[in-house]
Amino acid sequence: MISKKILLPVLVGSAFYLGACGSENTPTAPAQTPASASSMLPVPMSTPVIPPASSAAAVVPPTPVANYATLATTANPAFAMNHYAQWQSYHFMTEEAEMVNYPTLAGEFNVVFTPEYLPAGRVVWSNQTGYYKTLCSVPETANSTMKFRGCTVSEGIGYGMLLAYFNNDLDSYNRMWNYSRAYRAYNNVRLTPWITKSFHWEQGDNSSATDADLDIATSLILMYYKTGVATYLADALTIINALWELEVNPTNLLLYSGDQDAWKVGNPAYNLSYFSPVALRLFAVVDPAHNWTGVLDAMYAYMQLVQSLGTGVFPDWSDATGNAIDPNNGSAKDTYYTFNKESVRIPWRIAWDYYWYQDPRALAVLSQLNEFIVKKASGNPDDMALSINYSWNLAVGADYTKNTVVSSQWYAAWCATGIAGNAAWLNACTNGLNTKVLTNSGQSYFSDILIALYSSMLNGMFQRPAGI
């Protein structure tokens, strides 16, 4: 254990101000240590269990839709499981493996990862060459491919927990859950810090990212319904209450992009790829004290407004009036008005809602997207039209047409729009998606995890637990 340690100077600030500098700090123990009961690894039950009405942890399950929406005739869970295995083999790292990769850092892993948060695992972020290179570089490493991959982002933990849940991988799921819990406890915060360094105590950035918070809480609710273990629900409620307090605009019920004040002042920049309808539906069930249905309705109305004001696609960032806006965080100065690196997640989240609940608003959003791309691609999902980052409004800026290939995550995203009723499109592109092989390189964190998510959903792995 370290009694006193001075942080290496790194260029780290809030998740909003990417150019801000960090300051020296001294790591201390968490202000509160979770009770040991909350850290036990749950044991999966043979059948899903919903506590009886008399139980203090009981919740009233939502009314399930009788059937799922129709997937492609070419859907096959075996392809999704293969994509998950490919992803896990390269992008998921256990603490034990990390001790071998980073032998010097490993001696200090126990500062954050005390016994109640073990075993643990993380999703490895991409190699960093820009702003976060200093933080994410670990020069003393026994594995040269990991030299610039020292960081994990909360978004990856949320995606990873969902993937592990839908692939019935309880060990990996609990390891990532422990990763989130350990950093929340160590930093005395309720929402997972958006960037952390390996399993180490060195300060990253404790501000939150709303999409990660939604996904982590969603996976915990699903796991609760699947196993009946109340510990999952208790942690989900901790996150959900913090989400309501810190990441919902009380004026219009839109989801802020994070918990920092910079996301909330002036003319806030909203990110529609953070909107997870399934999450909000489940929150409304387990947390009836807050108006999550109102947030769901406000976000769908906002999404349809943004879509109606442009070409039919979405900008990566938009303001409360529905117009594209530069978030001024250094990430999207030249791309904010295009259907780009943020918006590539929108079809997955909306298609998931339609697959489970057949909400007519989801149908409308997906139908408009599908009609847009089918026209551009002349009905062929293998057309290069899928490589273009389309402008939300050509009066704001032109389409980005310089991509030379159709990236696999965009292929999958456009494919998912076909779930709204275009069977020919959905059949052809699901078949194409199932031929994709993950890149598994130091730069492919984002594309590979999205392919695995889209593949899991489009190949039928997104199964509701009993009662939902």
Average pLDDT taken over every residue of the chain:
88
227: Cα separation from own chain's centroid: 22
- pLDDT tens readout for residues 123-152: 999 998 888 999 999 999 999 999 999 999
Place of tokens 């997906």: 366
What's at 231, amino acid-wise?
Answer: T
* CB proximity list for 327: less than 8 A, separation 6 or greater: 16, 257, 269, 271, 317, 336
Concatenated DSSP letters of 302-330 = HHHHHHHTSSSS--SSB-TTS-B---SSS
- pLDDT tens readout for residues 152-175: 999 999 999 999 999 999 999 999
Stated length of the chain: 468
Give the whole-angstrom CA distance, residue 406 versus residue 184: 38
- pLDDT tens readout for residues 246-270: 999 999 999 999 999 999 999 999 9
> In the chain, what is the straight-line distance between the N-terminal and C-terminal CA atoms, in Å?
44
Mean pLDDT of 54-67: 45
What's at 315, amino acid-wise?
Answer: P
The answer to whether residue 55 scores a pLDDT higher than 50 is no
pLDDT at 34 (0 to 100): 29
Contact (Cβ atoms closer than 8 angstroms) between residue 154 and residue 122: no
Judge whether 420 lies within some domain.
no
Place of tokens 């002036």: 266
92: Cα separation from own chain's centroid: 15
Contact (Cβ atoms closer than 8 angstroms) between residue 206 and residue 186: no
Whole-prediction pTM value?
0.88
Judge whether 224 lies within some domain.
yes
Judge whether 51 lies within some domain.
no
Give the whole-angstrom CA distance, residue 18 versus residue 267: 19
pLDDT at 45 (0 to 100): 30
Q: Which of the four pLDDT bands, split at 50, 70 and 90, describes residue 466?
A: confident
Mean pLDDT of 330-348: 96
Output 412 or 46, whichever has higher pLDDT: 412
- Return the CA Rg of the chain: 21
Question: Residue 282 has which token pair?
Answer: 């489940």
* CB proximity list for 153: less than 8 A, separation 6 or greater: 123, 125, 194, 195, 209, 212
Judge whether 194 lies within some domain.
yes
Q: What is the DSSP letter of 194?
A: S
pLDDT at 66 (0 to 100): 58
Judge whether 189 lies within some domain.
yes
Give the whole-angstrom CA distance, residue 436 versus residue 451: 9
φ/ψ (deg, to 5) at 293: -65, -35
The answer to whether residue 23 scores a pLDDT higher than 50 is no
At 391, is the secondary structure helix, strand, or coil? strand
Question: Residue 328 has which token pair?
Answer: 């001024």
From residue 178, give the alpha-carbon distance in Å to each of 137, 146, 360, 365: 23, 22, 37, 36
pLDDT at 467 (0 to 100): 79
The answer to whether residue 39 scores a pLDDT higher than 70 is no
Q: Which of the four pLDDT bands, split at 50, 70 and 90, describes residue 227?
A: very high
Q: Which of the four pLDDT bands, split at 50, 70 and 90, describes residue 448?
A: very high
Judge whether 95 lies within some domain.
yes
Give the whole-angstrom CA distance, residue 2 versus residue 38: 25
Q: Where are the beta strands (DSSP E) in 80-200?
A: 92-94, 121-123, 151-153, 195-197
Where does 228-341 have alpha helices with state H?
A: 230-247, 277-286, 292-308
Mean pLDDT of 375-391: 98
Q: Which range of residues forms the domain containing residue 11? A: 1-20+77-247
- pLDDT tens readout for residues 187-216: 999 999 999 999 999 989 999 999 999 999
Give the whole-angstrom CA distance, residue 437 versus residue 334: 30
φ/ψ (deg, to 5) at 115: -55, -35
Q: Which of the four pLDDT bands, split at 50, 70 and 90, describes residue 15?
A: low
Beta-bridge partner residues of 255: 248
On the CB side of 316, CA atoms within 13 Å amount to 18
pLDDT at 64 (0 to 100): 46
Beta-bridge partner residues of 152: 196
Contact (Cβ atoms closer than 8 angstroms) between residue 463 and residue 112: no
Number of domains in the chain: 1
Judge whether 238 lies within some domain.
yes
Judge whether 333 lies within some domain.
no
Give the whole-angstrom CA distance, residue 141 versus residue 145: 9
Question: Residue 457 has which token pair?
Answer: 């959903």
- pLDDT tens readout for residues 270-299: 999 999 999 999 999 999 999 999 999 999
**Peptide bond between residue 119 and the one before it cis (omega within 30 degrees of 0):** yes
